[in-house]
């Protein structure tokens, strides 16, 4: 219905648009982008709904991007959404996963080679935390992650692009067990939260204003995503699914990288569990 109305309006206004100039023209272009954007949102929501068996509810108005958007905001939001869409479709692929690690506590990591790309890792775990709590720890308070996760040296939000999207710079820690060494990442992170689930997507981006730092190897994370779903009869617990898709860069044998990545996922989950239990400082 909406597209039909828009087309009709475009038809009626075409002669006027042709005679427009300057700011008026820019305004019309922005409205056009906004409409395309709304359509993308719908597609993404449909996608999430179909493939994760969601009872998808129309987002509240503030969940949809506000009308006054700069081109930069649109750019980052679209990159974030795109990453999330790509990562979700990787997670959906049913075939070709091989079990890498199955822990006695039920955590499982599977991996799969994405045609024409690298091996990606999918961790599945049940955590003792609500969707809200996990969203808060992993997205809202992402800058505090180094306080409970020794694999991370620092995370900085460089740009907050609306409530659900941000540009971040991450530096991994130089820890003894880390065969890969320290890396830094520049990413766009995008989230979408409903009452009983949350999606955190992300991908590496390049910004002239933030080139790789001397002395650091810049790795590329993503398209990646984390899906957090409330456990049916126990809202205090969540199903945690994390697709790790990382190009660590540098000169390293693939076999070393493919051992280190699932290990990094297990470490991350261990620290997250400890944080949820409230004793992050006990070492």
Ligand X SMILES: CC(C)CCC[C@@H](C)[C@H]1CC[C@H]2[C@@H]3CC=C4C[C@@H](O)CC[C@]4(C)[C@H]3CC[C@]12C
State the minimum distance, in angstroms, from the CB of residue 221 to ligand X. 5
C-alpha dihedral over 129, 135, 136, 141, to 10 degrees? 130
Q: Which range of residues in 20-28, 64-72, 259-267, 270-278 is near ligand X by CB under 6 A?
A: 259-267
Please, which of residues 157-186 interact with ligand X by CB under 6 A? 170, 172, 178, 180, 183, 185
State the minimum distance, in angstroms, from the CB of residue 150 to ligand X. 10
d(CA 64, CA 41): 8
In the complex with ligand X, which residue's Cβ is closer, 48 or 227? 227
Q: What angle do CA 62, 164, 247 make, to 5 degrees?
A: 155
d(CA 82, CA 248): 21
Which H or E element spans position 124?
A: strand 119-127
State the minimum distance, in angstroms, from the CB of residue 211 to ligand X. 19
State the minimum distance, in angstroms, from the CB of residue 213 to ligand X. 15
149 and 271 Cβ atoms separated by less than 8 Å = yes
Q: Which range of residues in 4-12, 33-41, 260-268, 273-281 is near ligand X by CB under 6 A?
A: 260-268
170 and 154 Cβ atoms separated by less than 8 Å = yes
d(CA 221, CA 224): 7
In the complex with ligand X, which residue's Cβ is closer, 125 or 264? 264
State the minimum distance, in angstroms, from the CB of residue 235 to ligand X. 21
CA distances from 192 to 85, 123, 168 (A): 12, 20, 17
State the minimum distance, in angstroms, from the CB of residue 135 to ligand X. 9
With binding defined as CB under 6 A, does residue 221 bind ligand X? Answer: yes
State the minimum distance, in angstroms, from the CB of residue 33 to ligand X. 26
State the minimum distance, in angstroms, from the CB of residue 236 to ligand X. 21
d(CA 221, CA 204): 5
Q: Which range of residues in 15-23, 80-88, 103-111, 256-264 is near ligand X by CB under 6 A?
A: 256-264
d(CA 192, CA 217): 30
With binding defined as CB under 6 A, does residue 260 bind ligand X? Answer: yes
Task: State the burial class of residue 214 (Cβ atoms within 10 Å of its Cβ: 0-12, 13-18, 19+).
Answer: exposed
How far is CA 266 from its chain centroid? Answer: 19
Q: Which range of residues in 13-21, 35-43, 97-105, 261-269 is near ligand X by CB under 6 A?
A: 261-269
- In angstroms and rounded to an integer, the radius of gyration of the C-alpha atoms of the chain is 21
d(CA 84, CA 40): 12
Please, which of residues 98-157 interact with ligand X by CB under 6 A? 138-139, 142, 151-152, 155
Q: Which of 120, 166, 200, 227 binds ligand X (CB under 6 A)?
A: 200
> In the complex, which residues of this chain contact ligand X (CB under 6 A)?
138-139, 142, 151-152, 155, 170, 172, 178, 180, 183, 185, 189, 200, 202, 219, 221, 226, 248, 260-261, 264, 268
């Amino acid at each position: 219905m909406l597209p039909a109305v828009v087309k009709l309006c475009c038809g009626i206004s075409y002669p006027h648009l042709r005679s427009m100039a300057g700011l008026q023209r820019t305004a019309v272009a922005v409205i056009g982008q906004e409409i395309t954007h709304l359509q993308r949102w719908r597609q993404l929501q449909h996608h999430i709904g179909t493939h994760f068996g969601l009872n998808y509810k129309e987002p509240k108005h503030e969940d949809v991007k506000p009308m006054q958007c700069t081109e930069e905001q649109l750019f980052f939001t679209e990159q974030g959404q795109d990453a999330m869409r790509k990562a979700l479709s990787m997670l959906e692929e049913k075939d070709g996963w091989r079990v890498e690690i199955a822990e006695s506590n039920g955590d499982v990591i599977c991996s799969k080679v994405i045609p024409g790309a690298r091996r990606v890792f999918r961790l599945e775990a049940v955590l003792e935390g609500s969707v809200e709590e996990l969203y808060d720890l992993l997205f809202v308070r992402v800058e505090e992650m180094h306080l409970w996760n020794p694999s991370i040296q620092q995370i900085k939000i460089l740009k907050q692009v609306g409530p659900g999207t941000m540009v971040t710079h991450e530096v991994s820690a130089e820890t003894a067990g880390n065969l890969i060494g320290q890396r830094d990442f520049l990413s766009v992170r995008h989230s979408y939260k409903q009452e009983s689930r949350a999606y955190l997507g992300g991908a590496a981006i390049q910004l002239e204003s933030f080139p790789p730092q001397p002395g650091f190897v810049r790795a590329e994370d993503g398209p990646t995503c984390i899906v957090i779903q409330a456990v049916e009869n126990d809202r205090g617990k969540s199903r945690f699914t994390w697709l790790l898709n990382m190009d660590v860069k540098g000169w390293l044998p693939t076999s070393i990288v493919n051992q280190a990545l699932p290990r990094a996922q297990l470490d991350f989950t261990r620290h997250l569990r400890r944080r949820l239990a409230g004793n992050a400082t006990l070492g």
